[in-house]
């Protein structure tokens, strides 16, 4: 599940019904995306066991869905001025030993956008 946590008055809880405000009124957690219906503002069945997240100033958030074998994208802010919306691109993570897809544990953003600008070196 993706969630946003911010310091805000408890009255802001009225903006999103799935949000739960702390009784002290100093912290508000808004569940943005979940694979379970009714838990967050957006439901995405691909968001299964999310592990990693990456983004840039001009990119959607990329999430590694370890349990779905995908990387899914989320636009922030979302369509229609919502906090988040599902980007239609879902990238399948292949693996040579499974026909159902890999199990990604993270993503990396290359700020240069140039091939080979993110070298991995070492003895292996």
The answer, yes or no, to whether residue 45 has pLDDT greater than 60, is: yes
More confident residue, 39 or 58: 39
pTM beyond 0.95: no
Among 32, 7, 29, CA closest to 20: 29
> First-to-last CA distance in the chain?
35
Q: Is the pLDDT of residue 14 over 50?
A: no
Return mean pLDDT, the chain. 77
Residue 5 has pLDDT above 50, yes or no: no
Q: Residue 50 is encoded by which pair of tokens?
A: 């999310």
Residue whose pair of structure tokens reads 């066991």 in the numeric block: 49
Token pair, residue 23, equals 């009784």
- Residue among 95, 42, 41 at smallest CA distance from 68: 95
Which residues does residue 119 pair with via DSSP β-bridges, in sequence order? none
Residue predicted with more confidence, 115 or 104 = 104
Instruction: Quote the Cα angle for 56-42-110, to 5°.
Output: 15
> Is the omega angle on the peptide bond into residue 5 within 30 degrees of 0, that is, cis?
no
Convert the pLDDT of each residue in 86-102 to its tens digit. Answer: 999 998 888 767 666 67
């Amino acid at each position: 599940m993706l969630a946003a946590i911010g310091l805000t008055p408890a009255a802001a809880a009225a903006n999103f019904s799935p949000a739960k405000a702390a009784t002290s009124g100093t912290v508000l957690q808004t569940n943005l995306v979940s694979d379970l219906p009714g838990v967050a503002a957006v439901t995405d069945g691909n968001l299964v066991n999310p592990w990693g997240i990456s983004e840039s100033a001009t990119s959607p958030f990329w999430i590694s869905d370890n349990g779905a074998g995908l990387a899914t994208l989320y636009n922030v802010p979302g369509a229609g001025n919502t906090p988040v919306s599902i980007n239609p691109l879902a990238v399948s993570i292949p693996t040579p030993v499974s026909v159902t897809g890999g199990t990604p544990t993270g993503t990396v953003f290359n700020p240069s956008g140039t091939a080979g600008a993110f070298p991995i070196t070492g003895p292996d």
